[in-house]
Structure 1
Amino acid sequence: MTLRRRDLLGAAGALALAGCGETPEITGGFVGTHPERGHVLREPTTRTPDRTRRTRVLIAGGGVAGLAAARALRLGGVDDFALLELEDQAGGNARAGLMDGLACPLGAHYLPLPGDNAHEVQDLLEELGLRQRVAGRWVYDERHLCHSPQERLFFQGQWQEGLLPLDGVPPDTLAQYRRFAHLVREAMAQTRFAMPTLRAPITPLTQALSGQTFAHWLDREGLTDRHLRWYLDYACRDDYGAGTVVVSAWAGLHYFASRHGFHAPGERDTDAEPVLTWPEGNAWLTQRLALSCAERIHTGRTVLRIEAHPHGVAVDALDHATGHTERWLAERCVVALPVLVAARVLQNPPDFVRQAAQRLTYAPWLVANLRLRAPLRDRPGAPPSWDNVLFGSAGLGYVDASHQSLNPRRGATVLTWYLPLGDAAAAARRALLDKPWTHWRDQALAELSVAHPDLREPLQRVDITRYGHAMAMPTPGAQVVWPTRAGRLHFAQSDWSGYSVFEEAFTRGHLAGAAIAGFKG
């Protein structure tokens, strides 16, 4: 069964009618982000600092990159630093919430096992006890690996194992799966794909792929099967926030070629690749990074102005708790802000910052956490999994926060539904600000009720988290090797990779902090 937008709208109306007076009210609201804090930057600031503070290194931005820079400074023996974070909790897109005692992600919810190109991430996992060397081989702590069953797809009216549509697809579809697998292998043989991207060269092939959309490349290769195209669109929306008509062909191939390739049915074991995950998602990692330097993290701060001088850096920030403006004087500054923000707050920004800000576009995202008092009844087919996706849907399906629990008795849980909005970013940003939380609640319920008609019965609460500029999108032309330093300013953010995943942000933050820790005097 192919889901269509009109089917979802019809389901939403039926759901609203069915709920009138028959089930308890579903509470909820917006949580996790404060758009008004970022919007302070829309108006020129003339604030006079209320007080001045000093530190050796100032880190502007407390996402994964900023926290990685703080860790690298600490490991390098630099303890005199401060980190300024916009929200009330550090972690950026990898933060968590609580729903009546149950942890749930507010953003990123898993980390693939990092390859050797991401050795900084490997070192972090070793430090946190997530992996250790046994008999000469690296072994991951199974408690933190995603438990089986890992993935399933609601397709043709029932659940199937895995996310690639298989049940009942025609031979032509299978042939296109094999064709795409061949093209991925061919690209991997012709050039190197790596994560983080700074460890892969820019070649004529990558430049050609980066210059066109993934949809255009697929059309040119004759890959038009609707099942394959849905799956590839889903993969791009999952990692990049937008589909094949927006992201580059380089990005579409990089999704597979930088990891384990793409394998058509029958080419190898089709089990999902192992990932690390937790009920709170990647906040499990960022919370531990933040804990190691908690006394140096200052939350609820909007960075208003960064000005570098020959002998230091001045950073002005608004403390939203007091309404006061602080001026921080530092020897060096790690700019771990999104590039569009960095270009606005930097005084006389370097040309490459202006160029990057003009080149990059950002995907809005919405995350809905649904608190259930009891498990859902299930449809035929594959059993409940950690990641549960609906074929043809606007969202990315849901992950189950209780999937990692070792308790054999299923009970209350939180389902986290993800909606990437980069395909129509400007309109989506307006909608995120203008629409009430109930609009997004009803959209989540309409979509998920296709597979779970009983969803409203155990549902108690829905928390909505909005990200207006969640992540840079790897659109055509976005793959550029940018400088990482301008005098006393060190740039560290996943934007400089042209897209946002943990490995990119952490590596860039670590390298910035390590570079500063290596300076003498």
Structure 2
Amino acid sequence: MQRRSFLTAAASAATAVLSSACDQAPAPLAGGFAGVDMARGHALRDRLAGGSLPAPSVQRRTRVLITGGGIAGLAAARALRLAGVQDLALLELEDSAGGNSRAGSVLGRACPHGAHYLPVPGDSAPEVQDLLEDLGLRKRVAGRWRYDEFTLCHSPQERLFWQGQWHEGLLPVQGVGARTLAQYRLFARRVETLSRAARFAMPSFADWGSKMPPAQILLALDAITFDSWLTGEGLDDPHLRWYLDYCCRDDYGAGSAVVSAWAGIHYFASRHGFSAPGEGGGDEGGVLTWPEGNGWLARQLAAPLRQAGQLHTACSVLAITELPGGVQVDAFNHSSGQVERWQAERCVVALPVFIAARVVQSPPDFLRAAAGQLAWAPWLVTNLAISGPLTDRPGAAPAWDNVLYQDGAAGGLGYVDAGHQRLDPRAAVTLPTVLTYYQALGDVPDARAQLARQPWQHWAEAAIAALSLPHPDLRERVERAEVTRYGHAMAIPRPGGLKILSQIGLQRLSVGRKQLLNGEQQRALPTPATARLAFAHADWSGYSVFEEAFTRGHGAGLWASG
């Protein structure tokens, strides 16, 4: 029996068995905050605002210091090791590395605290392809590249709750009118035309090594919002606009009224395009995923650092000072309560731009310009451990990614099921699992203050209420809820961002030297840098996805190895 058919039949059976239990009163909700420690970040802010830093009591030395243990910082460390540099250290604010790709577990069940998938990378991201090859997820078989079948997202991949039932895919199709379908086709043609007219690469700066600025057509799209561009193109269908707004919030943390038209088109044109229903293909691209999401990748990248004693967690960077003969970094160790002073030849600043602008002493003009241009989206991730199968509305079978057309929570993006990748299809409807519910709050007023003020129960109950529409017995099945808050999760690609950040990348170009690593020549990558500092973070692309962060970190690591 095919997995999709089995899930449909098993879900129906589970609904019948569990319907009699819906009258039972739910137990008090257990849970709390998890993942990011907002108090640490605020303590750093308050210390810097006070203007007086405590004197360091510990002195340390290393050849290359990396500040920031997100994907960019971890990629820089990997590039340094590949280049033969073993004398390095990485400082990370939280108790584990990974940034937005961090993961955890609830009641022993692995689940993401942030990013939950990686699209199969294209040829413009050879650094990411090389990583996946090193991890055994990408292999050449009979002359063709193949990806690990156990890691590729199992079918069914996506479904949409709309008009009281589940539909396959995320684009509203069944029951829409002829005009809606015509608008889908029109948008598909516009994406195809723009893809031929200019290069939409992932990572976005893939061609900057030749010091060529973005094409004028990209800069024209960057100058206006996506909503404005859609209106100008006559694309006003509410179903299409809902879907495109969802896509922007999903990848960029804010909706189509906030992000640039370049970002809105780039979402599709840089990867798998957009295919209208009935025209072949499909806009669903292959993705790699794990029960803990991209936390699996972060763990592989961090493992060599932990084993070598080079990963220093619970460290708040207080000041980065560039000196004639090297770099001096002061950091507060939350475990020991001491301020440590690090001396290094070079430093990779893999911190969010707004933090880098605060801690880098006498920050260069290009860092100030980037910090002034960017805005950051708050995010909320709620993990709900459930005891067993849920009552499900009619329609498409349970999927990995489950989205609600009308989500009851602010910024709601639906949920992913941590149990979806289990090999036994019966597990999806018989065993306990974790549902990870996402909320992008980049265009929600006062969201950051609410994240700091509201208790965890407020967010957990809101997530449960939203998901109870398709799953009316959810509250009775929740065993524990854990909420992860991101006050500044990701940079939002607003109008004008591509222009400013590309100018910085070209004017302040430092190129990592080309080397023979693993027997192959590595390409030179643009890295905003000074004499001793290289800046690497997804912020320098204006938006946060794995490919951008990893490739920028890789380039900074090559630079620091020179």
TM range (shorter): over 0.9
Mapped to 1, the partners of 2:52 and 2:379 lie a distance apart of 28
Mapped to 1, the partners of 2:277 and 2:423 lie a distance apart of 31
Residue type of the alignment partner of 1:421: L
Mapped to 2, the partners of 1:307 and 1:20 lie a distance apart of 63
What corresponds to 1:10 in structure 2? Answer: none
| 1:334-367 superposed Cα distances (whole Å, 9 cap, x missing partner) | 0000000000000000000000000000000000
Residue type of the alignment partner of 1:395: G
What corresponds to 1:475 in structure 2? Answer: 494
Select which of 456, 461, 464 maps to 1:437.
456
Moved more, 108-117 or 446-455: 446-455
What corresponds to 1:405 in structure 2? Answer: 422
The offset of 1:391, in angstroms, is: 0.5
What corresponds to 1:254 in structure 2? Answer: 266
Select which of 36, 50, 53 maps to 1:33.
36
Select which of 375, 384, 389 maps to 1:370.
384
| 1:296-340 superposed Cα distances (whole Å, 9 cap, x missing partner) | 000001000000011000000000112110000000000000000
Any conservation in 1 of the 2:274–2:283 contact (CA below 8 Å)?
no
Mapped to 2, the partners of 1:458 and 1:22 lie a distance apart of 11
SS of match in other structure, 1:303: strand
Q: Does 1:87 align with 2:101?
A: no
Mapped to 2, the partners of 1:344 and 1:293 lie a distance apart of 27
What corresponds to 1:309 in structure 2? Answer: 323
Return the TM-score normalized by structure 1: 0.94
Q: Which runs of 4+ in 1 moved over 4 A?
A: 18-21
Select which of 396, 421, 440 maps to 2:441.
421
Any conservation in 2 of the 1:41–1:304 contact (CA below 8 Å)?
no
Mapped to 2, the partners of 1:395 and 1:331 lie a distance apart of 45
What corresponds to 1:210 in structure 2? Answer: 222
The offset of 1:468, in angstroms, is: 0.1
Residue type of the alignment partner of 2:322: A
Residue type of the alignment partner of 1:183: R
1:272-421 matches, within 5 Å, as: 272-294=284-306, 295-393=309-407, 394-407=411-424, 408-409=426-427, 410-421=430-441
Any conservation in 1 of the 2:22–2:473 contact (CA below 8 Å)?
no
| 1:240-259 superposed Cα distances (whole Å, 9 cap, x missing partner) | 00000110000000000001
Any conservation in 2 of the 1:402–1:413 contact (CA below 8 Å)?
yes
Mapped to 2, the partners of 1:134 and 1:31 lie a distance apart of 42
1:58-97 matches, within 5 Å, as: 58-97=65-104
Aligned-residue sequence identity (percent) comes to 61
Mapped to 1, the partners of 2:283 and 2:532 lie a distance apart of 48
Mapped to 2, the partners of 1:23 and 1:151 lie a distance apart of 29
The offset of 1:478, in angstroms, is: 0.8
Any conservation in 1 of the 2:315–2:334 contact (CA below 8 Å)?
yes
Q: Does 1:233 align with 2:237?
A: no
| 1:238-288 superposed Cα distances (whole Å, 9 cap, x missing partner) | 000000011000000000000111110111133721100000000110101
The offset of 1:424, in angstroms, is: 2.9
SS of match in other structure, 1:316: strand
Q: Which runs of 5+ in 2 are unaligned?
A: 1-20, 208-212, 509-527
Mapped to 2, the partners of 1:87 and 1:348 lie a distance apart of 26
Any conservation in 1 of the 2:388–2:433 contact (CA below 8 Å)?
yes
Select which of 143, 158, 164 maps to 1:151.
158
Mapped to 2, the partners of 1:313 and 1:113 lie a distance apart of 38
SS of match in other structure, 1:396: strand
The offset of 1:176, in angstroms, is: 0.6
Count of aligned positions: 500
Residue type of the alignment partner of 1:129: G
SS of match in other structure, 1:218: helix
| 1:63-111 superposed Cα distances (whole Å, 9 cap, x missing partner) | 0000000000001000001000000000001011111110000000000
Q: Does 1:123 align with 2:130?
A: yes
Any conservation in 2 of the 1:25–1:460 contact (CA below 8 Å)?
no
Mapped to 2, the partners of 1:250 and 1:270 lie a distance apart of 22
Mapped to 1, the partners of 2:60 and 2:68 lie a distance apart of 17
Any conservation in 2 of the 1:248–1:475 contact (CA below 8 Å)?
yes
Mapped to 1, the partners of 2:422 and 2:41 lie a distance apart of 37
Select which of 156, 160, 169 maps to 2:167.
160
| 1:219-240 superposed Cα distances (whole Å, 9 cap, x missing partner) | 1111111100000000000000
Residue type of the alignment partner of 1:282: N
SS of match in other structure, 1:392: coil
Return the TM-score normalized by structure 2: 0.87
Q: Does 1:104 align with 2:108?
A: no
The offset of 1:20, in angstroms, is: 11
Mapped to 1, the partners of 2:167 and 2:444 lie a distance apart of 30
The offset of 1:25, in angstroms, is: 1.1
Q: 1:19 to 1:139 in 2, by over 3 A?
A: closer
Select which of 244, 264, 274 maps to 2:276.
264
Any conservation in 1 of the 2:22–2:476 contact (CA below 8 Å)?
no
Any conservation in 2 of the 1:233–1:244 contact (CA below 8 Å)?
yes
Mapped to 1, the partners of 2:488 and 2:97 lie a distance apart of 17
Mapped to 1, the partners of 2:284 and 2:265 lie a distance apart of 18
Residue type of the alignment partner of 1:26: L
Residue type of the alignment partner of 1:29: G
The offset of 1:35, in angstroms, is: 1.2
| 1:454-505 superposed Cα distances (whole Å, 9 cap, x missing partner) | 1111111110000000000100011121231111001100000000000000
